Structure 1
Amino acid sequence: MKEFRLYAITGEQFHPGREMLEVMEEAMKGGVDIVQLRDKDSSPEVVLSKAKALRELTRKYGVTFIVNDYIDIALEVDADGVHLGQDDVSLVEARRRVGNKIIGISTHAIEEALLAEEQGADYIGVGPVFATKTKVDVVDPVTVDYVKQVTERVNIPYVAIGGIKLSNVDEVIAAGATRICAVSEIVGSSDVAGTCQAFLRKLEGAGQSHAADH
């Protein structure tokens, strides 16, 4: 998969009165590399129509497009990949269905991270780093300690996620993260593109300081 630094996930509850496509386009203008459609409440028909529209928009901006959970919808709209949780279809089964498309897996412990790597995940989500209200059934925060463990032991790309804000992202970067995902901080912002650019400036500094360490 293409290298990436900033990953945005849709969260329509955080921008009432603003269209999802308009908000996500602002994020792409701000420099996000990956966009994930995550909609656990709408019918599959509604998710499909959103996926078709986002697929067109991400193509226009050259941004990688991931669909959460719905493998069939990801295939139908020719998304770049899918993202799965620990309780979703197995990675082995997903790989059989999506072929060489990207598969991302959410992980909350080092054992899950190592298993995902062993089974051929293209990247993993590492989190929730901090407490988050983005998801209803969220697990307890894994803290930056888990980010450090993954940095030391896992060789596939990972993205730190969960409660990450401009005010605390420096802690995550200090733990070794070079890719981050934010939901409410990006899509709920009054300046979506500006918030994305601010995250990227912090990550740019990280890349230089990590390079200096090695």
Structure 2
Amino acid sequence: MTAEPTRPPRPSARERTRRLLNEAARELLRTGGPLTVQAAADLAGVSRATAYRYFPNNDSVLVHATMPLTDGAGPALPPPDPGPPDDHSPQGLAGQASTLVRTMGEWAFDHENELRTFMRLSLGPPGAAKLDRRASTNRDTWIATLLDGLPDHVPQQARDRLSIALTPLFGADAVIWSTDIAGVDHDTALDVMAWMAAALVQATLNESA
């Protein structure tokens, strides 16, 4: 006889409540809602007293909103993986930069509410819980990977300058300057950001040729 597959243990009532509250905190972050114990309790469908057993204060709601779920579903704001570049030559590097920035820009506009919330919380008053906006997009990792494709003769000073110049083309920074300040629509913003990335990389290559 074939043994029946072992069923995973059912989560306890406490684990289910914790998951409901964590998901509620993440949803509040996604929609730009108030990250408070009361708001999380209302959204999760539990009493405020119950919510306080898991979230002792409003700051803890923020912490849980940005933590991975217990089932390994990933971080609250998982950026996409653009994948390995198709062209590893210096001549193709500008195109890689353009594609990367456009991909990340599309993702940023799809997650505009969350990114604006990250921006607001990262600029909170002294003593308040704050978020590291750089961690929400992995921009440092992708910029570093892009710079690894530069020829060896490009000096470190030029690499550092290019890294800084590419930084505002990612995440909340890109969303805010393009829509709030420049006042352009998303398609135009993506075209401009992709062009800027390619131009910055090409200028660095030309200067160091």
Same fold (TM over 0.5): no
More helix by share: 2
Aligning the two structures, in what range does the TM-score lie when normalised by the shorter sequence?
Answer: under 0.3
Relative to the length of structure 2, the TM-score reads 0.26
Larger Rg: 2
Relative to the length of structure 1, the TM-score reads 0.25
More strand by share: 1
